[in-house]
Structure 1
Amino acid sequence: MNKKRASGRTVGGLRTLSLQAPAVTLLLLWMIVPLGMTLWFSFQHYNLLMPSMTGFAGVENYEYLLTDPALWRSMINTLLLVGWVLTITVVGGTLLAVLFQQEFAGRGIARVLAISPFFIMPTVSALVWKNMMMHPSNGVLAWLFESVGLPAVDWFSALPLTSIVIIVAWQWLPFALLILLTAMQSLDEDQVEAARMDGAGPLAIFFFITLPHLRRAISVVIMIEMIFLLTIFAEIFVTTSGGPGLATTNLAYLIYIRALLDFDVGTASAGGVIAIILANIVAIFLVRMVAKNLED
């Protein structure tokens, strides 16, 4: 009987493995082939403008990138962009989640309108902000400034990185609001009411009850947003094209410049490998942070 059961388990396991094998194989090929090609080209002389220059480059592409001031400027811009957007979306999302948790007329409509920007495509969002909101002559912000006697601001020339932060934060604030508002639904109202009866004010309830309750949700928001914010491209491409100079060039846009404007595939591949390493370092840190919060 035991032999039959063991045999049955073995046959069932083989059948399950045979069903899973095609999907797992396809997934591995989908991940490994592009990564392998990127690693290969990062060690090659491969410039489409100079087809005669080929062969093994060793670490020359990496040396060139690591000694290029543009790389370090783009990494600083990437960190500034990610840091400011995370600050705005987490703080703003938390405050809006607390606000939309309260009862008021039209709350359902207000929630839908607040979450709607997240469903707009990044390219469309960037075009709307560039041509309708931040235009120095015909934009809504220019009209508002002029209506109170202030001069209009040429956002993408005077404050280029700030402009990108505003656009990206506007896109991702609804995502943070959605996650945090969902977490607010599980807040124990009896605990809040008991705190009010004990004399706790709104600030005390917010800092000692609401924020600790939202800690896990905030960790999830930070993890998901940071992974996507490291690869911001469309907003920069549509509005500033990385300029003026390198003022808004992040790591993703620098790789685009090297690959599709300079046609230097080898250097661009080396930049891609550096971006992969940076993303994995960030992912490891975030996963540990989220796991620690989940354990608590």
Structure 2
Amino acid sequence: MTALPTRRDEAWRYSDLTALAEVWPQDIGETREITVASGETRSLTERLAGDGWRNDRVTVSVATGGRLDLSIVQARDVAAVTTQLYTIDVAAGASCQVDILQHGSRFGRIAVDVTMGDGADFELNGVNLARGTQTLEIVTTMRHAEPNGTSRQTVRIVADDRAIGNYLGKVMVARDAQKTDASQSVKALLLARTATANAKPELEIFADDVKCAHGATVGELNRDALFYMESRGVDPASAKALLTQAFIGDALDSVRDEAVREAMSAEAIAWLEKRI
């Protein structure tokens, strides 16, 4: 069993280590594999529920020319601790999309470690909805190991009360990974001034013919937009709800499967309606 992480480990810098220490040490809860054969297309949804500590390790392999759409909904008990790691290999010419909706657990961490082959394509769309004293985080490592790969990451965080929403994302471009096209977009919306958001997108580039970009913003609901909507007869609660739904829609609208997209959107709206 590895040692309990500390804040000296950059990947755990903003985590709820107190909650993690209460369940440590424990072996990996489950180890499983997801495999997509060459030329195959698969669509999977994982719903994480229950209490206690869930500490799974999931290995995902998408063979040449294959495609995987993987949706992850973390809706565990508010007292639970969740530390999931998905290690994903996207072979040459393959594509993978991971969509995350996370609103459960007192400490919830979804980590995704991706290695990209020649011409591979990867997309991540993530939404963290945190309230109370929750700490929810999405942590990504994107390894562009070969040329011509594309990756896009869109993460939206909504934090209320004294909750903490985190995104730590690292894009690594190897020396031979020319023609890489990678982007990270993370935005956080604070519904209360006691809430916290931490955004840490990183680029580590050793190739010289690439297109890589990242951006991060943290803010509150736009007061001018709220005033405009209220002046047109929209009540304050509805105006806040509509603006917040539009904010997280940047990520959820990209979910490819219509049924999954509608289900995730409905779950997010239900979370918002409990507050607004």
**Could you tell me the TM-score, scaled by structure 2's length?**
0.25
More contact order relative to length (CA 8 Å, sep ≥ 6):
1
Greater share of helix: 1
**Could you tell me the TM-score, scaled by structure 1's length?**
0.24
Give the structure with higher Rg (CA).
1
